[in-house]
Structure 1
Amino acid sequence: MAAWLRAETHWEDRPGERYVDNFKRKFAEQEFNAIKRRYSGQHGQTYTCVVTVRKEERNVKRTVLKSVVGTLDFSIRHLLHGESFPGEREKHLFCSISRTNLNRYIYVSNLCVAKSARRQSIASNMLYFVIESARSEGVELVYVHVHRNNEPALELYQKIGFEMVEMASSQLLKQQMYLLCYKT
């Protein structure tokens, strides 16, 4: 369900494009396989997929697929030795992972909400869930990457309390991404 919603969201601005349904199916299949890989427990990281569904209504029947309105992934990770934020690899080409509670953080990815369900606090509620999960795990920092042109997402994260990370790698500049951080 999460993979299909992500495919729908990814291709929503191109409805008239030729073969868009084939592209959606292929994207959903790739995302499904990526989800399976992430949740197989590799690399000692803990992944969680949050799926939000519509509230059940009397006398309204929906398929499971049509009930899913939001999804996001988050994982508990460790900073590499010498990093002060995720992805700060320019200085440290060959680093080890230092697994202490002080350098654990949560990384948010793949946040999406169905077009028909936007502006209903679904994304913010999922993010609040992640923040509460961080607190309960004793994790103080939550990170997310956002494309510089994604103004609705930037506004959402900043409204919740995420702040721009001061330093950004040249890779982020090339990809036109911002790294945002929330301190619990």
Structure 2
Amino acid sequence: MKKFICTPIFGFALIFLFTDCKSKTEERVDITNKLLENNKHLEVKKTNKNTTYTGLITNSNYGTSHHYSYKLTVNNGDVNWNGGTAEPKHLLFCKDSIYIHYLKEKYIPINAKDSIENKVEKGGYYEVQDVFEVYVDKRYFFKFFGDDYWLEISSERYNLQKESCTEYSIPNDNELSISNTIID
């Protein structure tokens, strides 16, 4: 009886040891500073994380994952943007406001209905999309109270503002792109 119990346990332990893996994460932070023509200082911070998964015993490489995140500040913290995995492309400075254009991946869910079995199968895909936002600053009393945030706007509103404002490109690694992006 002991032999029958020990064999599956030993087999499970052996499989666990050969398939279990360890991970090693390397993080690199790149900071790019840019002085804009309007005497504003732009700082773009990109954090890259690469995680490699290797087997405990076999030391086989089971794959590497790459994640990144962007943050930017204007004038040493007067304006902050934390885009996460979104990639900033342009900043638009107007007389009384600041706008940003960036790209982000959005999950598009798809539900398909099987007419024979009357089942709904769920799936989806990721799509890179243009996003436009305006900076809203409702802080007061030396910026100690209140709140500041980014509010999403339409591409038409952004393009209207471009006519009377100054647009600057934001340094990035071009990991996200849209082949048919048209910004007038």
TM-score (normalizing by structure 2): 0.28
Bigger proportion of residues as strand: 2
Which one has the bigger helix percentage?
A: 1
TM-score (norm 1): 0.28
Larger radius of gyration: 2
**Comparing both chains, which one has the higher relative contact order based on Cα–Cα distances under 8 Å and sequence gaps of 6 or more?**
1
